[in-house]
Chains A and B, each alone.
Chain A
């Protein structure tokens, strides 16, 4: 069978078998939660509670009046002990609400009861998604209700469920598709309803045959059937799950530079997000927990864990038996685009897909050599850029010229750096260049 794919890309070592067969396991809530007021792309929330207040699981504790933002909820019942700057996995430090758990784990309501959704309206779906604080769980954490609001002048005909999970090590989406295919499809159906499309594509890389089989089986009996739903098997290649690559691979449409998926009539949602949407609407459950893959060659028992937002990652590592050997790098996210962490005190946030503890054996980072113009970076760039030439300019601070080579098209997937035989930190230079390009 000819698999769908995009042009370029790399084949990193995947190490998915460390966790791909491990069922999702729930861990006990910790004693203390750090819930950052910004966990998403957009404006930060203002706290709705004060120090000393008692909160319950699922209670709204932070909200913003910005259009692009997403509210935050308490992950357990307990007392607010601090509202101040706290460790943040991406920003270093950020305003957060620290909650001391009372151990009762009492919710504002019972989140396990499924209610009849009936003929729920698109606006109602969007409102529920917004109230539940749902963001894209693939990593970028863009507020989902904003994504589901299509501008007047755009016509959307397809929704793509992103089940590619192209980052090495990560298996949380794959596991969810194996374990909860029906709920994911219900969520997808609700999103399709919200944006008014009757065509859905479920795109999964061919290294997850179990997930493909499970989704295909569940397609038979979902409530919110979409008229035209098909599962598309994609070639296993990084970054197959990049939004623009995913759309190009599954539909043959190219999102224009600086454009968004709805410019080509598409909305893309991650598999975990679809599940969160289903739970928000059928159970009124805000996004206060998610599945995180804890893996890497330094983790004793790599696992997929169902974790409350705000749990310090130390608790996740402990739940996996701790470190087997001393990790050199601790990463939140996947190895290709994840963020290195300095401490195990940082909390899990909505966009946390994985926690990796790596010994450094495969992280690269040997001494940099001269570029031999082998053009591997050019061959693999999924955005068809010339990384070697852009970096040559960025190094010399010739940002205007770098702009001429479309430096801003770079989505920072890191494929170039991964391939470079001279170990040149290509994407790192490009990042620096992007920050410095003259405006206008």
Chain B
């Protein structure tokens, strides 16, 4: 018994759910797989090299960032891979490799590492990467490719077609993903499948996509009712562009979204409202990226004003 009289000393609790950050990242990566597969089917090698470039670029940038900060290299925690995959999904398939690499470096170094690494960033890294490329290389970011045949097309994405030329893409193509566009805005179906997996595994909070998509249905629907010729229908609003990817995978990034339940509702509703406004009246055909980045910016404010009611404390 003498030997056994030595025990580990620790403060309670002495039990753990067993979840880990890594597991959450793995769920996100898994949830992105349906869309990765569909996009590789439609855009072949173009998609493959873009995924490879963004993921490798992100992991490399994270490693360098950690080394510069003299912290333990955390490139293996899966978050850099998530950023890489998401970045690739918001880029056009024909984008040159160097441009994708540059985008990943900006996404990781300038939006995440500079703030102190995982958990410290204000803005969604993948979206910052895209915003940077969009501002720097607008022509490259708006050259699209036809699925399967991989022909370069001058005609733009369904959202641009609708906005500037009043041409509506058939719903079936939108839903399956047989359209030109970024890797992640093509197949709404694949994104929804992955998104639901994410929600079921509780790796993302359901309130954000619910608020996001809900308000697009409501607000977008009202606009369409008021003036069907200039505002497309709800189904189009939902399945064209990056709405699904944004609602399920970008806006739900825990680091850059609110920590309170009420806050998450506000965040989702805000994103959705901004998307409809930008799409309807903005200068751009698509507004998912900017709406999420804008809401990221006010996340600390949302947290501050949505603190849960103190237990046992009655108002009035």
Which residues does A use to contact B, with CB under 8 Å?
10, 12-13, 168, 244, 254-257, 259, 314, 323, 326-331, 333, 335-345, 356, 358, 360, 362-366, 369-376, 378-379, 382-386, 388-389, 405-406, 409, 412, 414, 417-419, 421-423, 425, 427-428, 431
Q: Tell me if B308 and A384 are in contact (CB < 8 A).
A: yes
- 28 sampled A-B residue pairs with Cβ under 8 A: A12-B15, A13-B15, A168-B15, A326-B4, A327-B4, A329-B7, A329-B8, A329-B10, A333-B12, A340-B8, A342-B6, A344-B5, A363-B14, A364-B14, A364-B16, A364-B18, A370-B118, A372-B21, A372-B254, A375-B260, A376-B19, A382-B311, A421-B20, A421-B23, A422-B20, A422-B21, A425-B11, A431-B11
Q: Decide yes or no whether B261 CB sits under 8 A from chain A.
A: yes
A373 to B119, CA, bound (A): 6
Residue of B nearest to A380 (CB): B17
Q: Which of B24, B261, B303 lies in contact with A372, CB distance below 8 A?
A: B24
Q: Decide yes or no whether B312 CB sits under 8 A from chain A.
A: yes
Residues facing A in B1-41 (CB within 8 A) are 1, 4-21, 23-24
Q: Tell me if B14 and A375 are in contact (CB < 8 A).
A: no
What residues on B are CB-neighbors of A423 within 8 Å? 16, 20
What residues on A are CB-neighbors of B12 within 8 Å? 331, 333, 335-340, 412, 414, 427
Q: Tell me if B17 and A340 are in contact (CB < 8 A).
A: no
Q: Which of A333, A345, A362, A369 lies in contact with B77, CB distance below 8 A?
A: A369
Q: Tell me if B7 and A341 are in contact (CB < 8 A).
A: yes
Q: Tell me if B20 and A366 are in contact (CB < 8 A).
A: yes
Q: Which of A12, A13, A418, A421 lies in contact with B24, CB distance below 8 A?
A: A421
Q: Decide yes or no whether B313 CB sits under 8 A from chain A.
A: yes
Say yes or no: A370-B7 contact (C-beta < 8 A), given A13-B15, A406-B310.
Answer: no
A217 to B20, CA, bound (A): 45
Q: Decide yes or no whether B117 CB sits under 8 A from chain A.
A: yes
A327 to B120, CA, bound (A): 38
A-B CB proximity, top 8 nearest: A364-B16, A414-B13, A375-B259, A384-B308, A256-B312, A254-B312, A335-B15, A370-B119
A364 to B254, CA, bound (A): 22
Q: Tell me if B11 and A358 are in contact (CB < 8 A).
A: no
Q: Which of A328, A365, A412 lies in contact with B16, CB distance below 8 A?
A: A365
A339 to B17, CA, bound (A): 19
Q: Which of A259, A329, A345 lies in contact with B14, CB distance below 8 A?
A: A329
Q: Tell me if B17 and A12 are in contact (CB < 8 A).
A: yes
Which residues does B use to contact A, with CB under 8 Å?
1, 4-21, 23-24, 74, 77, 79, 117-120, 205, 254-261, 303, 307-314
Q: Tell me if B10 and A386 are in contact (CB < 8 A).
A: no
Q: Tell me if B13 and A418 are in contact (CB < 8 A).
A: yes
Say yes or no: A428-B11 contact (C-beta < 8 A), given A343-B5, A378-B259.
Answer: yes
Q: Tell me if A383 and B18 are in contact (CB < 8 A).
A: no
Residue of A nearest to B25 (CB): A372
A242 to B16, CA, bound (A): 19
Q: Tell me if B14 and A335 are in contact (CB < 8 A).
A: yes
What residues on A are CB-neighbors of B79 within 8 Å? 372
Q: Tell me if A340 and B14 are in contact (CB < 8 A).
A: yes
Q: Tell me if B21 and A417 are in contact (CB < 8 A).
A: no
Residue of A nearest to B260 (CB): A378
Q: Tell me if B7 and A389 are in contact (CB < 8 A).
A: no
Q: Which of B14, B77, B310 lies in contact with A409, CB distance below 8 A?
A: B310
Q: Which of A12, A360, A374, A406 counts the most B-chain CB atoms under 10 A from its CB?
A: A374
Q: Tell me if B21 and A370 are in contact (CB < 8 A).
A: yes
A406 to B255, CA, bound (A): 23
What residues on B are CB-neighbors of A422 within 8 Å? 20-21, 119
Q: Tell me if B19 and A421 are in contact (CB < 8 A).
A: yes
Q: Tell me if A419 and B19 are in contact (CB < 8 A).
A: yes
A329 to B6, CA, bound (A): 9
A345 to B307, CA, bound (A): 46
Q: Tell me if A331 and B21 are in contact (CB < 8 A).
A: no
A421 to B17, CA, bound (A): 8
Say yes or no: A257-B24 contact (C-beta < 8 A), given A418-B15, A419-B17.
Answer: no
What residues on B are CB-neighbors of A431 within 8 Å? 11
Q: Which of A244, A372, A385, A421 lies in contact with B312, CB distance below 8 A?
A: A244
What residues on B are CB-neighbors of A345 within 8 Å? 5
Q: Tell me if A384 and B254 are in contact (CB < 8 A).
A: no
A393 to B314, CA, bound (A): 26
What residues on A are CB-neighbors of B256 within 8 Å? 373
What residues on B are CB-neighbors of A10 within 8 Å? 17
Min CB distance A400 to B, Å, is 17
What residues on A are CB-neighbors of B8 within 8 Å? 328-329, 340, 360
What residues on B are CB-neighbors of A366 within 8 Å? 20
Q: Tell me if B312 and A328 are in contact (CB < 8 A).
A: no
What residues on B are CB-neighbors of A428 within 8 Å? 11
A329 to B254, CA, bound (A): 34
